[in-house]
Structure 1
Amino acid sequence: MQDHKPASYENVAYDMDLDGGENLNGHGRDRHRERNGDRDRERNGDKDRYRERNGDRSRDGDRDRDRDRDRDRYRERNGDRDRYRERNGERDRYRERNGDRDRERRAVEDRENGRRRETDKENMMRERDREMAMMRSKQLEKERHERPNPSAPPVNLGSVPEDKVQGTGCCSGKRACIIVGVLAVLVIVVGALIGLVVWFVLPSCEKAKCDGTKCEDDEIDCARPYGNDDFVKVYRADIDDYAFVCAENWRTQDTSFVCQLLGYTSQREEQQEGTKLAPSGSSSFVAVNLSTIGTDGANSQLYFQKVTQCQNDLLVTIQCFKCGVRGGSIRIVGGNDAPLGNWPWQVSLALQGKHTCGASLISPYWLVSAAHCFEKGHATPSEWSAYFGFLEQSNRPSPIGLESITVNSNYDAKTNDYDIAVIKLLRAVATNDDVHPICLPNDGQTFTTGSECWVSGWGALHPSGTVSNKLQQLKVNILDFNRCNGPQSYDGELTQRMMCAGYWEGGKDTCQGDSGGPLACHRTDKWVLAGASSWGESCAMANKPGVYADLSSMLDFIRKTMQSNN
């Protein structure tokens, strides 16, 4: 049996130097160190492999992050491409709309040119036929004079005097022909003398604006109200502009004269005058010229004289008739039934008895509405009737007929530019708390962005609906023109004769049947007609508010129409 020694003894024996042999303890230490080195290298290899695995994981994370960043950049580029395509699509649609308008405009021009060419050709043919007929007539007349009529019975020359046989035309002899010629010459001479007398003796029509002598339309628009304070301005030929009227020398009859210049002649009992300080920065003043009144009562150039300054800086203010006041009180905000008397200037225009458009009463004889209401051959006054002072279409009062409908000559049915018409009633409407005119805007009055105004009418309550039975009212805001005409809204379709009112978020708006109705704004102590309902894209859509005809830009047309028909 082998005796096994403990490891400790063995180690001691190895420490002993036997027979001069080499030290075995050194080999033991080397082997121990070798084994420990293997373990260290294995441990370090494990650490390296661990670090390698962690490095792989880090690189995988970096790759994932890079891949996510690439995906984000790819999506961003695709989004930019989509937005670019969308912008290009909007541009293409805009160009397509403009192209359609241009093609339609060219087609209309081609048709008009074709009609003109056909008319010119017909006129040329008629003129040529007329000239050929005249030439044939002259030729026949000449032949009739030069040879005798072959069907006439033979004449016994022996029994007829010689002077009776010479002629066979309009005169039967030489003596008769001479007498006819002399009479023709006398007629020509007398006619020429009469023409000279008319030319030199009778006065000719010379256009001189506002001189009291009417020549075409030169006596229209000789005075204008100005600003919120109703100052008066009259035309002056020496400056070719309008001048403020000073308060000195002013009399009651002068108010009647200026109201006549403004076109208001039937409400003398309502005329009022006053005085107010001249606005700062105002220039060009006139005053009543007492020394020339009576020389020519209709000549405003003589009626007023130019002055450098008004006494005490006081100007005349005039109200030719009461307007812009109402008996009702606003109690409902936004698209609901209106109480009687809230909007006494609201008018219902019925085509052959059916409500079609709205209108605004601006004097007992006159209405303002939209031009597009009278398209498609519906401009005959006898087809229309006007209703005043009521709320429900099912309970309308007796109507008043129309005498005339004057559509602005610049109205464009394609763009709705100049969408305004002036209407005269067959008789004056009786005014009361429920029927009362609204004021026209004065020169210098503005309706700024954010101003609160009101619209009213019997229009449809939703885009596909029929007209409302009850009168509706809605408070709206005047909106920024540039934004309304921008790419997110009407994209360049508006003109300077238009304005926007409503809400950008939509939901409240005018609709079919409200066309021509009033956009009324309160100024100082009265209501003023800022616009007439004109058009829009559908009804109450976001970023598509109602578009209205801007009356301030078309006052000249309204005044001239009223004054020329008074």
Structure 2
Amino acid sequence: MRPTRLIPALAAALLSLLALAPAGSAAPATDGGVTPYIIGGGYASNAPWAARLFSNGRQTCTATIIAPTWILTAKHCVSGGGLSFRIGSLDQTSGGTLANGVQTYTHSADLALVRLDRSVSATYSRLASSSPAAGTTVQVYGWGATYRCGSEINCQSQYLKVANVVVSGACTDAYGGSAICARYGNGITAGGDSGGPMVYNGLQIGVASTSDRQTTTAYTNVTRYRSWIQSIAGV
């Protein structure tokens, strides 16, 4: 199955159109300026490391805070510029801590690190050093679309959602990087979920890159790029 790129919603024209747009392999899913929502699943009750990403004030992607001044998200989520984040709140419209991005680092894979303009006290997402085997049930989080609608910016979730997906094996992300593919469990990622985490046993193993919004999703494999993340963010 060929997943379409997950949720780019950041870049005004390109990424907006790309989010979920079918591509030969996987194109970042664009949803009219927002990243995908989780379709199915349920509402998260505890995710203090979650961060909602805004580009020029517009809700776009999901992310995680991994250190006092560092955010981890997808590369296709940061091209729009004017990045800001609401950190540590399940409600994307209130609560938590607001911070702006002042410097962005991108990898050749679908990964980006954003340095914040202030130090944020939070429970930081811990990154795994190895990924689980095929058949393992893992969790994915995001503020993306809750159903397949014409412009997913109109069907995003105000509250952070979570779903179980089942690891199907290794694959590639939207840019050809190493990724973990997973199939529908009780939900699947959609526009607006891009950049959000895949979690196993409390550790982040992936960053949302692509999805067909029905059965299959691909998450850039964080465990394969730990040295790059550590060289920049120190974690």
TM bucket (normalised to shorter chain) is 0.7 to 0.9
Structure richer in strand, relative to its length: 2
CA contact (8 A) 2:86 2:92 kept: no
Match of 2:74 among 357, 370, 373: 370
Q: What are the residue-to-residue correspondences of 1:178-257 with 2, within 5 Å?
A: none
Deviation at 1:500, TM superposition (A): 0.7
Structure 2 match to 1:448: 133
Task: State the 1:363 CA deviation.
Answer: 1.3
- Residue aligning to 2:59: 355
Alignment of 1:397-412 (within 5 A): 397-408=96-107, 410=108
TM-score (norm 2): 0.74
Match of 2:85 among 386, 392, 395: 386
Shift in Å, 1:548: 0.6
Match of 2:114 in 1: 423
CA deviation profile, 1:420-479 (whole Å, cap 9, x unmatched): 001111111122xxxx1121223xx23211222111111001122331111111112211
AA aligned opposite 1:394:
T
* 1:471 counterpart (156, 160, 175): 160
Q: Once the two structures are aligned, what percentage of the paired residues are identical?
A: 27
SS of the counterpart of 1:423? strand
Q: Matches of residues 40-439 of structure 1 in structure 2 within 5 Å?
A: 335-339=41-45, 342-375=46-79, 378=80, 380=81, 383-408=82-107, 410=108, 418-431=109-122, 436-439=123-126
Give the alignment partner of residue 530 of structure 1, picking from 205, 211, 230: 205
Equivalent position amino acid for 2:183 in 1: G
**Is 2:214 the counterpart of 1:540?**
yes
Quote the Cα distance in structure 1 between the aligned partners of 2:120 and 2:42. Answer: 27
Cα distance in 2 between the residues matched to 1:517 and 1:427: 21
Match of 1:458 among 108, 125, 143: 143
| C-alpha spacing 1:460/1:449, structure 2 compared with 1 (3 Å) | same
State the shift of 1:508 in Å: 2.1
Q: Distance in 1 between matches of 2:55 and 2:167?
A: 31
The question of whether the paired residues in 1 share the 8 Å contact of 2:164 and 2:187 is answered with: no
* 3-state SS of 1:394 partner: coil
1:456 alignment partner, SS class: strand
Contact 2:88 2:97 in 1 (8 A): no
Distance 1:560 1:516 in 2: 20
Please give the TM-score of this superposition, normalised by the length of structure 1.
0.32
Runs in 1 of length 4+ with deviation above 3 angstroms? Answer: 493-496
The structure-2 alpha-carbon separation of the partners of 1:540 and 1:389, relative to structure 1 and needing over 3 Å to count, comes to same
1:199-238 CA distance string (max 9 Å, x none): xxxxxxxxxxxxxxxxxxxxxxxxxxxxxxxxxxxxxxxx
Q: Which amino acid aligns with 2:158?
A: N
Distance 2:192 2:94 in 1: 18
Aligned equivalent of 1:498: 179
Does structure 2 conserve the Cα–Cα contact (< 8 Å) formed by 1:371 and 1:407?
A: yes
Question: Which amino acid in the other structure matches residue 120 of structure 2?
Answer: V
C-alpha change, 1:495 and 1:405, in structure 2 (3 Å) is closer
Cα distance in 2 for partners of 1:343, 1:397 equals 11
Higher-Rg member (1/2)? 1
Quote the residue 2:31 is aligned against. none
How far, CA to CA, are the matches of 2:58 and 2:177 in structure 1? 33
Partner in structure 1 of residue 194 of structure 2? 515
Cα deviations across residues 156-193 of structure 1 (Å, max 9, x unaligned)?
xxxxxxxxxxxxxxxxxxxxxxxxxxxxxxxxxxxxxx
Deviation at 1:558, TM superposition (A): 0.9
Partner of 2:19: none
Ranked by relative contact order (alpha carbons within 8 Å, sequence separation 6 or more), the top structure is 2
Q: Which amino acid in 2 is paired with 1:373?
A: C
Residues 110, 177 of structure 2: 8 Å contact kept? no
Residue identity opposite 2:204 in structure 1: L
Q: Tell me if structure 2 keeps the 8 A contact 1:507–1:540.
A: no
Instruction: Give how far 1:394 is off.
Output: 3.3
Change (3 A) 1:397 1:497: same
Name the count of aligned residue pairs: 194
Query: Gaps spanning 5+ residues in structure 1: where?
Result: 1-96, 99-333, 411-417
Amino acid at match of 1:336: G
**1 CA distance for matches of 2:55 and 2:144?**
15
AA paired with 1:343?
A
Mapped to 1, the partners of 2:93 and 2:84 lie a distance apart of: 15
- 1:507, CA displacement in angstroms? 6.8
User: Unaligned stretches of 5+ in structure 2?
Assistant: 1-23, 26-39
Q: CA deviation at 1:494?
A: 8.8
CA RMSD of aligned residues (A): 2.6
